[in-house]
Structure 1
């Protein structure tokens, strides 16, 4: 296999890129075999090919082994994977009696970091499709001597973590299993020992399972925590003191609710809705949904899809990042307007966001581009583009050190980056580092997930403090 270099078509619209690749493949075929007959393409093609690291919980880097998994093909069908005109792997893959196949191939040691569109072709009947292969940067561990890490194992499926200054407590959400999710908890921890002091299971949901909890927002003004019930498209409110339920909102009020941030002064909860270009707004005193803030994408024909949120109480700014369009919005919550929407140049599948109010900078984690981008909040200019590891998912800004802490799921690390875009440390929080939050006192809490039920390193909360 020749050395890999990322395709320049990645900056184009995905549909245009796909057509260009397939057209190129067809043109080559016509030039070399004009006399070939053209059979009818498969009208019922449902084939799926997935590419990823051969070892679960490890990033896919240069020299690594790639797992190829195919399904929904016709029994005995031949499937080839091409990079341009070159075959990837050792030839054609043959679907078994269930229409599936599995294979592996090794990446060249000099493979460049990036995302590659590869062509999937089938015979009998013919079809062609495109699948993406992402090769991530290898960021070595470093700076362990600068921090102290203390951790405790908690419930399966840890999702988000939050710190309450008023209660001097840490709160964690967990949800594990396929829908209808039956295993979910909210946990209250001692902030120093990380021991569980209270826990509660959500109520039963109408469609089965429970109102599983994912996102988490702290409301110290009312002594409550807000959680997102992503599966039921809604939210719920619990007391910080004993985790008793204050209100379970009805399903459907916030589509695919992910993050929640609290404006304690004005009494509002802002909830991101993945797939919907709106932030849902709830009143934290009356406990009613009162409004929505619409965000208009600057990308032609696209919709802003808010994922992570951050909120600055001093300016009333709400920062939202779009997973679908690689944009960030700066929202004035006084006027309820998205007064600035910037493209995040160099970011793919942007999902995590944090705001530094003192220096007016926005930190964006790109899950598809494995990087942290630092933006000027006034102009949207990208000041620094930092490779932090595979699957950078969430970011927290720690104001005392002025460092950003980035959790990278596939790399299993929390990377500490200074305001100038330099890596201060790259700490192991493996496997599947998921979420990070600053406590406002110099420390950062992180949670991760597990490889399997027997994994002793997974489902942990970790307190990271500077030495």
Structure 2
């Protein structure tokens, strides 16, 4: 997407310190080596828990350097790792059983010559599976590369997006699902991206308008999708999945989510990395305006609001979005398309998913970087509950019928069910890479997950989850 909307948790990369100190026998420091570009990554350990064995790999170090990993002045690896002639090394250590969850800073110290690199390490909560006996779960394998789902109350159908790989993308579909059987009723490939002939005259590689985010408009019988990699959106017919309009590339840079306020005839799309929301007319299918989003977070650098997921308070025509870069919530009046308020969420890191409970006027935010679900009061902006739910909490759906929130934890392969008062009701197996969930308004939730490979039996499934 850049990256697809559904942004996954990657191995934690090191942040190099510009400071490199030369080791010497004298009390003074030698001149720093400005050419040092050492990097360290966590490998083979996608989720770090208390008690985990962590493997590290370094590269671009100086051959012969001896590397020790420190936390709070204590060496973690049993013996220094020696850098090979290729500038690479590997080492490992065990996270203490009593390690607290959260983001920790390790120091990677090299000697002969001296250098230092900071390594951020996130220790995720280890939430055991529980409460399975309280829920009925129906599961069905679908198509490769599932991303998001949307439910149409009017047509009683589920619409799911899928896209496989990185550009050029040749495999991407919009799929229509029967909610009772979870069987595919219809499917359509996304259209081809126009491309000029190559200099050699060869036909260009197949590249389609890959579909990621999805929303339904029951007033007009349409389905809206985001084409993240082409920076735009498209509109399809619910009945036969025919393409109604493909907007030009660039209309919504790095488009992630789309949501429709059907009563007001407007669709909203989030451009990740841009401090605004793009508004469309759902009848004329024209771009109306952009709503600017101003951060309230003060600090060094050019910080800006970067919108991710969207949620609608349909009764009061309020739109909610969260900022991945500044960990804030924005509340927008969809009648006027004016921002009513923006407030920060203490305890959130890389906020991405958002849901809303109209009965209590609480917003629920899932954050990938802090592995938690935060429940906050919209009126005051105060955080009421901070619930550790699992590694890579990516999205959340709130069901007002059962008063339960369903959090898709992408890195821990779970869907955590939390009540509005912050109590974990259940922690369910979500298959590989749980990615998104949507309510049906009848007390049930449709959840989709991705796959770790083409032969993954736990991947690319849709699940229907309902409290017994």
Tell me the TM-score normalised to structure 1 length. Answer: 0.88
Residues 170-213 of structure 1: CA distance to partner in whole angstroms, max 9, x if unpaired?
11111121222222111111111111111111122246521111
Identify the residue that residue 458 of structure 1 maps to in structure 2.
459
Q: Determine which of 47, 50, 53 is the counterpart of 2:41.
A: 50
Identify the residue that residue 330 of structure 1 maps to in structure 2.
331
Residues 133-164 of structure 1: CA distance to partner in whole angstroms, max 9, x if unpaired?
01111111111111011111112221111111
Identify the residue that residue 151 of structure 1 maps to in structure 2.
139
CA RMSD in angstroms comes to: 2.4
Residue correspondence of structure 1 range 252-267 to structure 2 within 5 A: 252-267=250-265
The size of the alignment, in residue pairs, is 441
Separation in 1, partners of 2:182, 2:60: 46
Separation in 1, partners of 2:184, 2:122: 39
Separation in 2, partners of 1:317, 1:250: 28
Identify the residue that residue 159 of structure 2 maps to in structure 1.
171
The answer to whether the 8 Å contact 2:449/2:460 transfers is yes
Instruction: Quickly say closer, same or farther: Cα 1:76–1:175, change in 2 above 3 A.
Output: farther
Q: Determine which of 14, 29, 39 is the counterpart of 1:38.
A: 29
Separation in 2, partners of 1:335, 1:152: 42
* Pair 1:400 & 2:401 matched: yes
Identify the residue that residue 180 of structure 1 maps to in structure 2.
168
Residues 272-294 of structure 1: CA distance to partner in whole angstroms, max 9, x if unpaired?
11111101111111112111111
Residues 359-382 of structure 1: CA distance to partner in whole angstroms, max 9, x if unpaired?
211001121111111110101111
More helix by share: 1
Separation in 2, partners of 1:130, 1:111: 19
Identify the residue that residue 193 of structure 2 maps to in structure 1.
205
The answer to whether the 8 Å contact 1:40/1:125 transfers is no
The answer to whether the 8 Å contact 1:156/1:175 transfers is yes
Separation in 2, partners of 1:444, 1:338: 30
Identify the residue that residue 130 of structure 1 maps to in structure 2.
118
Separation in 1, partners of 2:162, 2:140: 14
Residues 393-435 of structure 1: CA distance to partner in whole angstroms, max 9, x if unpaired?
1000101011111111111111111111111111111221111
Residue correspondence of structure 1 range 34-433 to structure 2 within 5 A: 35-36=26-27, 38-51=29-42, 54-56=44-46, 59-73=47-61, 78-96=66-84, 99-122=87-110, 126-206=114-194, 209-301=207-299, 302-433=303-434
Cα distance, 1:107 vs structure 2: 1.4
The answer to whether the 8 Å contact 1:40/1:126 transfers is no
The answer to whether the 8 Å contact 2:268/2:278 transfers is yes
Identify the residue that residue 3 of structure 1 maps to in structure 2.
none
Separation in 2, partners of 1:183, 1:114: 37
Residues 284-342 of structure 1: CA distance to partner in whole angstroms, max 9, x if unpaired?
11112111111110011521111111011211101010100111111112232222111
Which runs of 5 or more residues in structure 2 are unaligned?
1-14, 196-204
Which runs of 5 or more residues in structure 1 are unaligned?
1-17
Secondary structure in structure 2 of the residue aligned to 1:345: coil
Instruction: Quickly say closer, same or farther: Cα 1:92–1:239, change in 2 above 3 A.
Output: farther
The answer to whether the 8 Å contact 2:418/2:425 transfers is yes
Tell me the TM-score normalised to structure 2 length. Answer: 0.88
The answer to whether the 8 Å contact 1:136/1:370 transfers is yes
Instruction: Quickly say closer, same or farther: Cα 1:462–1:42, change in 2 above 3 A.
Output: farther
Secondary structure in structure 2 of the residue aligned to 1:380: coil
The answer to whether the 8 Å contact 1:155/1:459 transfers is yes
Identify the residue that residue 202 of structure 2 maps to in structure 1.
none
The answer to whether the 8 Å contact 1:67/1:104 transfers is yes
Separation in 2, partners of 1:338, 1:368: 26
Instruction: Quickly say closer, same or farther: Cα 1:90–1:231, change in 2 above 3 A.
Output: farther
Cα distance, 1:87 vs structure 2: 2.7
